[in-house]
Structure 1
Amino acid sequence: MKLFKQAALLLMLPCTVQTAMAQGNHQWKEASSGGYTYKYVTDDPMKARFYTLKNGLTVILSVNKKDPRIQTLIGTRAGSNNDPKDHTGLAHYLEHLLFKGTQQYGSLNWAKEKPYIDQIEKLYDKYNKTTGADARKAVYHEIDSISGIAAKFAIANEYDKMMTSMGAQGTNAHTWVEETIYEEDIPSNAIDKYLTVQAERFKDPVFRLFHTELEAVYEEKNRGLDNDGRKVYETMLAALFPTHNYGQQSTIGTVEHLKNPNLKVIRDFYNAYYVPNNMAVVMAGDFDPDYVIKAIDQRFSYMKPKPVKEYKPAAEAPISAPVVKEVFGPDAESLDLAFRLPGALDTRSNLVLSVLSGILSNGKAGLIDLNINKQQKALNAEAQVMNLKDYSLLALSGKAKQGQTLEEVKALLLGQLEILKKGEFDETLVKAIVNNAKLGELQGLESNNTRATSIMDAFIKSRATNWAFDVAYIDDMSKVTKQQIVDYANRYFKDNYVLVYKRKGEDKSIEKVEKPAITPIEVNREAQSAFLQKIETMPATPVKPLWLDYEKDFQTAPLGNTQLMYVQNKDNGLFRLYYRFDMGTYSNKKLNLAASYLQFLSTDKYTSEQISKEFYNIACNFSISASGENTSITISGLQENFDKAVSLFEHILSNCKPDEAALAALKGRIQKGRADAKLSKKSIMSGVVNYAMYGAKNPFNNQLSQAELDAVSAKELTDLLHELPAYKHTVIYFGPKALADAAADIKKLHPLPAAFKEAPAAIAFHKAAPGQTQVLFADYDMVQTEVNWIGNSSTYDPAKTGIVSLFNNYFGGGMGSIVFQTIRESKALAYSTYAFYASPDKKAERYSAIAYVGSQADKMNDAIKGMNELLNEIPRSDKMLATAKESMKQEIETERITNDGIIFSYLAAQKLGLNTDIRKQVYESIDKMNFSDVKKFHDDNLAHKPYTYCIVASEKKINLDDLKKMGEVKKLTMEEIFGY
């Protein structure tokens, strides 16, 4: 279990940690260009420019010309830490409301809408102060009534429509303890449109359609109550921080506060924190920085600065003895153990902590990796760091293997800390950590999202004042000494931890947020504000789409009796080498087991532990993965170590020795992992969906039975690994070497047989032909109900690709789609919902219509009815269709398939029987399609068709008789779902 998965984005970017040792080549400098002065840090690989406008707004720009797109983030340094004590969850509420529009957009007639918005605000204030169930119900009924009238003047999702029409992707936002960030990925030619919308968005937001959005947040809270990982996370923070808001105010808010919102207090929060001197605009991608800074200044100059009250907590009292907590729920058992440490602003502490955490756990050669995971002493274990402004955390987590207690796992984890404190580790590991950090930095520079997120994180924590330290981070890591690490461990890691046991069992403390009575509202799909029309008519320089030419965009060369497929990396010194075999688990179910087994094996030259160290020391990786029809070996890393990495892997594959003890331990861990999978609602639903698509025997449950697993021998698996290169495979290289040189190196390092062995016959899995409507049900103890619709359809036809794409964009592919607007915006029946027509990945396979609603159990029947209405009758909105078409064009125009993606695009096309880039055909068809085409497609392929309802829910919270009204009900056992 990953304790800090909510913070995963912040954890993956080591360059965001500030250090106290920056020096030498990384200095702040000042420059001017285009009439604006900016600061920058010398030798910054992101070449970030830091501007402060006259009103205090921070703008940070990083140019990356690889693709004609830009990752944009607009952030404010305010999150759940800043929520009023009596209105937790408020910052998160506000985040949702900033998608609802302003006086200029989102409204048919603001003058007529405003009186009702004002009335609703007063009613919520009254509701907030009203006690007594009947009295509150009466006030809410009045809110519902007035909201219905106000909604007649609202245009739902107009923000999403504008962003979609300009080709934006990834429209989203998130709130966390110290931040609220608004995210868009836009085409490079949409800068003016984007900035005009965002400047208006933050000028004077209108909190319209609040009561349906409130219900969406209720759903989000209830989903969290079903998430054991989130419960562990919140329990951990509450124990670590008995006074600080990190632990005392969850981002989503308490049930009591969620049920008592106050729009006036939300407005006060907005006025206090959404001010220019507390906000930043970050952009990373393809643009002219001189043009962009001027455009931002012109549009955001209306913002007026004001003093911002920072959250200044009192220091937490030291933890003097272990604090032990328990969390109960249906998921598999686990434990998390965390220490409270100095915050991100203590740069020296966090530099040492970052290196120290790598010594504990780096995925390959850390103490936990080698002493626990490599030796299979637990199901799995890891260490993570979370850097927050006021405090950082080091968390150790693990799951027990079969026959093991969580207390025994705890002892193993604490034992690694004792080894650390005694200094019983190789100091050369620090150098390896630095080399792998350099590898991560090179990989991160390829991504606009990584660049923007790194920069925004620095702004949130320190207003980016320490960016010079961030840039120097990797250099400074190499200066950390073994003694510093040992001293740090002995100073901070004592009996001063919080321990949370996640136990299996009923959580009797869950208090669900009850659904209020909500009358469906108007969504005015066809309406458009004058502001939207203005945005759509703004000029944008056309971007010419680029099609792949599979005869020119990659090269091939003979390689023994196979071929090398090649694309050169002209950007950096990274390589990726693949051996792609034409067989997978459909041919041999033991391939996955063999792939997992390899990591625990030694050779006549290296122990298993030494192999992990060797790869980590040269900043390279290898992996084997087996899908149904293919097996892939991937070797990657720094090109300077290519020969070492490939020759080492070839040695391992050819010389790995059987180890019965390692296999026995692996089998035990697999059995425990299988048992845990049966406790995961996500895994259960995946199995039910596969059952619906393919029948009782399907790719999901194509697993070794317990008897088959028991019978597998160590020699059988090592023989399979030794023989693997003898089967037919293609070699793929992406790296800086020229084709002839790469081919010569690979031929030297990767011996090939004179003739390939014939692969075992593969099991053929085909989607079931459409039959009768039925219900597949799996019982799971949770508050929510998960429902998937599965309807298999006709076989693949490339001529349908354009209409399939348009239908998905229009009908159910995003927040501006028909499904989302109806199910969530109008009827408030779900937090998450979608529907789409899924294309197969190979010719002669069937399409599938797939729909989903995740709702409260007591709304299941209404949610199913609502989705069925849409599956049978598609509403018409010419404006939404035009937006969907424009979005498709923009997406294709700005999409660039590069690097080894070119080769994998070709291989995917081959599988479908294609020899050209299908996107060209789709692009040329967009303008020719109209609503009658979409409706005909819907009627022919979705309307009044038989569906299999896949339902995962608690029998205690739904009525099985309701399911029987939909079709024949089959309650699946875990063995039927999982195959073991």
Structure 2
Amino acid sequence: MNLVKKTIFLMLLASCIIQLTIAQQKNEWKEAKSGGYTYKYISNDPMQARFYTLKNGLTVILSVNKKDPRIQTLIGTRAGSNNDPKDHTGLAHYLEHLLFKGTEQYGSLDWAREKPYLDKIEGLYDTYNHTSDATARKTIYHQIDSVSGLAAKYAIANEYDKMMTGMGAQGTNAHTWVEETIYEEDIPSNAIDKYLSVQSERFKDPVFRLFHTELEAVYEEKNRGLDNDSRKSYELMLSSLFPTHNYGQQSTIGTVEHLKNPSLKAIRKFYNEYYVPNNMAIVMAGDFNPDYVIKKIDDDFAYMKSKPVPEYKAPVEVPIKAPIVKEVVGPDAENVMIAYRMPGALDTKSSVVLGVVSEIMNNGKAGLLDLNINKAQKVLSASAGVMGWKDYAVFQLSGKPKQGQTLDQVKDLLLGQLEILKKGQFDETLVKAIVNNAKLSELQGLENNNNRASSLMDGFIKHRGQNWQADVSYVDNMGKVTKQQIVDFANKYFDNNYVLIYKRKGEDKNIEKVEKPTITPVAINRNDQSAFLKKVDAMPATQVQPQWLDFDKDIQKGKAGQADVLYVQNKDNGLFRLYYRFDMGAWNNKMLPLAAQYLQFLSTDKYTSEQISREFYNIACSFTLSSGNENSVIAISGLQENFDKAVALFEHLLTHCQVNEEALAALKGRIAKSRTDNKLNKGNIMKGLANYAMYGAKNPFNNALSQADLDGVTASQLTDMLHTFGNYKHTVIYYGPQSMNDMIAAVQKEHVIPATWKEAAPQQKFEKIDQAKNQVLFANYDMVQTEVNWVRNSVVYNPDNTALVSMFNGYFGGGMGSIVFQTIRESKALAYSTYAFYSSPDKKGARYSTVAYVGSQADKMNDAINGMNELLNDIPRSDKLFETARQSLKQDIETERITQDGIIFTYLADQKLGLQEDNRKKVYEKIDKITFDDVKKFHDEELAKKPYTYCVVASDKRVSMDDLKKFGDVKVLTLEEIFGY
């Protein structure tokens, strides 16, 4: 239930990834009838979406895509934090969590006995909500905790998740944002009846059970946000930009004060007002018969009754006359954010121009920020993007300073690019290139059901789908935008009317947190199941037959000189992806990643670096050179019609790039600043701790050039490496429409393959270490939460164990219905996020590792660690949960389709493991033979009562070293030890 995910998605959406169409074709609303139902559609819509409105007002949007036997489903309501009552912010988000708790029909052992306790809990919360005396509140909460324990005896925790897992669903989730709450499932195509039966019951009359433990999970989610400097900057930006509109005045997760004073009655009122059919939509994209699906939805959701929905009346914000400057302080790296208030999605003409403006500023290749700032290395990094809502949009510029640079200098550079835009100092042909790249993105996006469904749902949320015609015509309309319109728009909206947020490094002395209430662990009844679940399980479903790869038939193999060629033909569209995959990486030469970064800043004897970027963007193609630990990959992709141009241009760059001392000096400076910033990021610190625990003091994470070595690297060394890169052994990989012979001929025309491969330096080896005894690795970080990783290395990889390992992970700690999640979060309310799994290596001869995680409040750390240790030592038995895990694993394999270049990379990954054929077939054949006793024996032998290394990132002001010593010898690591520099 990630609150940030939707923000990121819509910023991408604003860059026109999906809502596109073929140029010069008319897009008009039309009406058709099929299967007894009338629907509307847009002519020449590449998604071929059908828009239905049922008698009760429910919107249904269907887009068929037969690529895989799966369906992305979204059920959304047009209500989010914008609609929260002023005195109960965060309520929409609370409700989202509670809609996973069941109804009278499922999630309960005995509804008649459970209901009186739930009624009493609701009344107690109402009293608690209106009580201010601290002693009285503590007494009331003790009653809530006590009655909740009694009610939980009749509850079946996670029964919703069990049903979805049992039918083969993936990605079970939901999110709440400003104007929406959306429930997400990816289901097998044979599970439509089961899915709709569960969803129609889910929204019929939800029961808000297990509330106080779920509320604690929301507390943890809030505390995670309080530890996130980016989240704090984002919320301050919105509150400053929208001083009266709820966009800025009501955060999605709510205030600390409101989180402490929830009201079940207010939540029920919100549900009754907004979860009505005329305010909701069901979107499905994937493999199904739309005539069957619409009738099934109509039948299952006919009980819903339409009624008026209270609309949020948006205030008109007063224009900003002068910059509003604010500051955020926290432990993470410094950055600056500039935000402008823009016309919203309802102003479709302005939205198109804004989309073009955003791409001109930052498209990743040839925008003003891309060329003038990032490629010129004037800052550490800079970006721009749009967040679009109904009433307003936000245009945002962001930048991180390089070494010795002030935030004001970054701000001035960002604003300087807007001045260039306002003066029209950009090439008008850039608009044409933007349109061409948008068409490329459309072809790529149409292959993904989630992209389809998310785009359609976004159209419903913003304007009930009524503007889908404008959405489909978006690219054509972008192409009609003139340079003068862009300049006029920029001068109208970009002035001193911005919000400026300085994110500075320091201690946030005003940081607040949601305090931990006393919670008695509740029963979760994992061995029980409702009659409703049994009914759903019993519904007939035609088995989907799995499809295995035959590497000899599915991949064509050839030669380009002495280079092996792996080929799969693209029969769907005009896109290609070409790779040169090298058997060397950073473990062969630490300078390879540096050379890969350096290439993007280099010119040749014919072209400047900027000209190369522009040309790739103009032909709707791209390239990357990346160097991993053991392999390096050159990737060139785009429109097949420009294949020859793209390959020739890249080969020219690689073999003719020229020394640029100034660019290398700037790159070294940026790397130094990035290294400093990395040490301020808690996620990177935890990665370093985990690598230290797994491999020891010298490990893949800190295997980097020392500062002295970095300083000593010369520009000529790097260009020499790049010029001779193609002389090292590599495999040519191609996915595209061209025949293999024609492709090989085209590649060999530009790509010189030597008669003899140049020998790469020997590869450095990193071996996993043994955990001989319990140990705690501690890194100090100023934050509210405590994060703990468990690490233990195990035996050498054995492909015969893959089925057993997969079953163990699915049952024990791999999802919301797993033993770990149910116990740590649902029963004990110790964490928002938790997991545990047995991690398989990626190559033959390497070892497995057990990895577990809990992120909790600091004052819960001891309980959280003890809770996980209990599970690592003793695996609880639940036959029902075990069978659910079995069915889920089988259906995942049955509905998985490995296609396109995924076939080739699966083949290469299997080769690395020593496998000669698709191992999924053997795994599938073994699944039904695995018993719980097999899994328990595996758990007892590999996990139970073993020494672990505990990796702890926390504030030493909030956790006790004496407490940590209870779990093992404590070693406090410095950042230099963790990062290697």
Indicate whether the TM-score tops 0.5.
Answer: yes
Counterpart residue number, 1:809: 810
AA in 2 matched with 1:973? T
- What amino acid sits opposite 1:411 in the alignment? D
CA distance in 2, matches of 1:846, 1:18: 45
Identity rate of aligned residues, in percent?
Answer: 73
> Is this contact kept in 2: 1:342–1:350, CA < 8 A?
yes
Aligned position for 2:172: 171
Determine the structure 2 residue equivalent to 1:133.
134
* 1:54 aligned partner: 55
Partner in structure 2 of residue 798 of structure 1: 799
Structure 1 residue matching 2:515: 3-state secondary structure: coil
Report if the CA contact (8 A) 2:384-2:397 is conserved.
yes
Q: Give the Cα separation in 2 of the matches to 1:873 and 1:931.
A: 13
Instruction: Confirm or deny: 8 A CA contact 1:18 1:347 kept in the other structure.
Output: no
Instruction: Give the stretch that moved more between structures: 191-200 or 365-374.
Output: 365-374
State how far apart, in whole Å, the 2-side matches of 1:7 and 1:101 are.
28
Aligned to 1:765: 766
| Equivalent residue number for residue 197 of structure 2 | 196
- The within-5 A match list for 1:89-100 is 89-100=90-101
| 1:784 equivalenced with 2:785 (yes/no) | yes
1:18-29 equivalent positions in 2, closer than 5 A: 25-29=26-30
SS in 1 for 2:492: helix
String of CA shifts for 1:567-607, please: whole Å, max 9, x gaps: 01111111000000000000000000000000000000000
Once the two structures are TM-superposed, the CA of residue 463 in structure 1 deviates from its matched residue by 0.2
Q: What corresponds to 2:241 in structure 1?
A: 240
> Which residue number corresponds to residue 836 of structure 2?
835
Instruction: Please tell me whether the aligned partners of residues 564 and 731 of structure 2 are also in contact (alpha carbons under 8 angstroms).
Output: yes
1:111-163 alpha-carbon deviations (Å, 9 max, x no partner): 00000010100000000001111100000000000000000000000000000
Partner in structure 2 of residue 11 of structure 1 = 11
Mapped partners of 1:17, 1:805: distance in 2 = 35
CA distance in 2, matches of 1:483, 1:502: 35
Q: Over residues 149-200 of structure 1, what are the superposed CA-to-partner deviations in whole Å (9 max), with x where a residue is unaligned?
A: 0000000000000000000000000000000000000000000000000000
What is the CA–CA distance in structure 1 between the aligned matches of 2:919 and 2:862, rounded to whole Å? Answer: 40
Paired residue for 2:367? 366
Partner of 2:907: 906
Q: Which residue of 2 aligns with 1:891?
A: 892
CA separation in 1, counterparts of 2:577 and 2:962? 55
2:355 alignment counterpart: 354
1:218 matched to which residue of 2?
219
Q: 1:920 to 1:808 in 2, by over 3 A?
A: same
- CA 1:211/1:384 → structure 2, altered by over 3 Å: closer, same or farther? same
Residue of structure 2 in register with 1:543 after alignment: 544
Aligned equivalent of 1:863? 864
Amino acid at match of 1:99: F
Residue 965 of structure 1 and its aligned partner are, at CA, apart by 1.6
Moved more, 16-25 or 920-929: 16-25
The separation in 2 between residues aligned to 1:21 and 1:938, in whole angstroms, is: 55
1:82-137 CA distance string (max 9 Å, x none): 00000000000000000000000000000000000101000000000011111000
Flag structure 1 segments of 5+ consecutive residues without an equivalent.
Answer: none
Tell me which residue corresponds to 2:494.
493
Structure 2: where are the runs of 5+ without partners? none
Structure 1 residue 314, shift from structure 2 partner: 1.4
Note if 1:627 corresponds to 2:637.
no
The answer for the alignment partner of 1:272 in structure 2 is 273
Deviations 1:221-254 (A, max 9, x none): 0000000000000000000000000000000000
CA deviation profile, 1:283-342 (whole Å, cap 9, x unmatched): 000000000000000000000000001111210000000000000000000000000011
Partner Cα distance (2:29, 2:4) in 1: 33
Map 1:320-335 to 2 at 5 A.
320-335=321-336
The answer (yes or no) to whether the contact 1:21–1:469 under 8 Å persists in 2 is no
CA distance in 1, matches of 2:635, 2:623: 5
CA distance in 2 between counterparts of 1:749 and 1:443 reads 26
Pick closer, same or farther for the CA change 1:415–1:21 going to 2, 3 Å. Answer: farther
Q: Which residue of 2 aligns with 1:678?
A: 679
Structure 1 partner of 2:703? 702
| Matching residue of 2:286 | 285
**1:750 Cα offset (Å):** 1.2
Structure 1 residue 11, shift from structure 2 partner: 2.3
Aligned length: 978
CA distance in 1 between partners of 2:315 and 2:966 (Å): 59
Residues 25 and 44 in structure 2, CA contact (< 8 A), matched pair in contact too: no
C-alpha distance after superposition, 1:783-836 (max 9, x if no partner): 000000000000001111010000000000000000000000000000000000
Q: Contact 2:21 / 2:475 at 8 angstroms: preserved in 1?
A: no
Secondary structure of the corresponding residue to residue 67 of structure 1 = coil
Conservation of the 8 A alpha-carbon contact between 2:21 and 2:473: no
CA contact (8 A) 2:598 2:664 kept: yes
CA distance in 2, matches of 1:218, 1:850: 25
- TM value normalised by structure 1: 0.99
Q: Structure 1 residues 341, 439: CA separation in 2 closer, same or farther (over 3 Å shift)?
A: same
Residues 1:387 and 2:353 are matched in the alignment: no
- Cα distance per residue 1:386-413 (max 9 Å; x no partner): 1111001110000000010000000000
Say if 1:212 and 1:825, in contact at 8 Å, map to a contact too.
yes
- What is the CA–CA distance in structure 1 between the aligned matches of 2:4 and 2:117, rounded to whole Å? 42
How far, CA to CA, are the matches of 2:748 and 2:194 in structure 1? Answer: 52
CA distance in structure 1 between the partners assigned to 2:583 and 2:852 by the alignment: 32
Output the CA distance in 1 between the equivalents of 2:16 and 2:267.
34
Tell me, yes or no, if structure 1 residue 311 matches structure 2 residue 312. Answer: yes
Name the SS for the 2:573 alignment partner.
coil
Aligned AA for 1:713? Answer: T
Q: CA deviation at 1:510?
A: 1.3
Alignment of 1:620-699 (within 5 A): 620-699=621-700
With 48-57 and 507-516 compared, the bigger mean Cα shift is at 507-516
Q: Name the structure 1 match of 2:823.
A: 822
SS in 2 for 1:944: coil
Superposed displacement of residue 964, structure 1 = 1.2
The one-letter code of the counterpart of 1:8 is I
Q: Deviation string for 1:594-621 (max 9, x for gaps)?
A: 0000000000000011111011111111
Cα distance, 1:739 vs. partner?
A: 1.4
Number of the residue aligned with 1:565: 566
Task: Report if aligned partners of 2:780, 2:955 keep a CA contact under 8 Å in 1.
Answer: yes
State the Cα distance separating 1:10 from its structure 2 match. Answer: 1.5
Q: Residues 329 and 503 of structure 1 are in contact (CA less than 8 Å); yes or no, is this contact kept in structure 2?
A: yes
Q: Please give the residue correspondences for 1:477-492 in structure 2 after superposition, counting only pairs within 5 Å.
A: 477-492=478-493
1:930 aligns with 2:931: yes
**Shift of residue 769, structure 1, vs aligned partner:** 2.4
CA distance in 2, matches of 1:334, 1:17: 30
CA contact (8 A) 1:583 1:629 kept: yes
Give the aligned partner of residue 508 of structure 1: 509
The secondary structure found in structure 1 opposite 2:534 is helix
Distance in 2, matches of 1:457 and 1:260, equals 32
Query: How far apart are the structure 2 equivalents of 1:571 and 1:204?
Result: 44
Shift of 1:347: 0.5
1:12 partner amino acid: L
1:19 to 1:787, Cα distance in 2 relative to 1, 3 A: closer
Query: 2 CA distance for matches of 1:478 and 1:187?
Result: 39
Query: Is 1:344 the counterpart of 2:313 in the alignment?
Result: no
Mean CA deviation greater in 543-552 or 94-103: 543-552
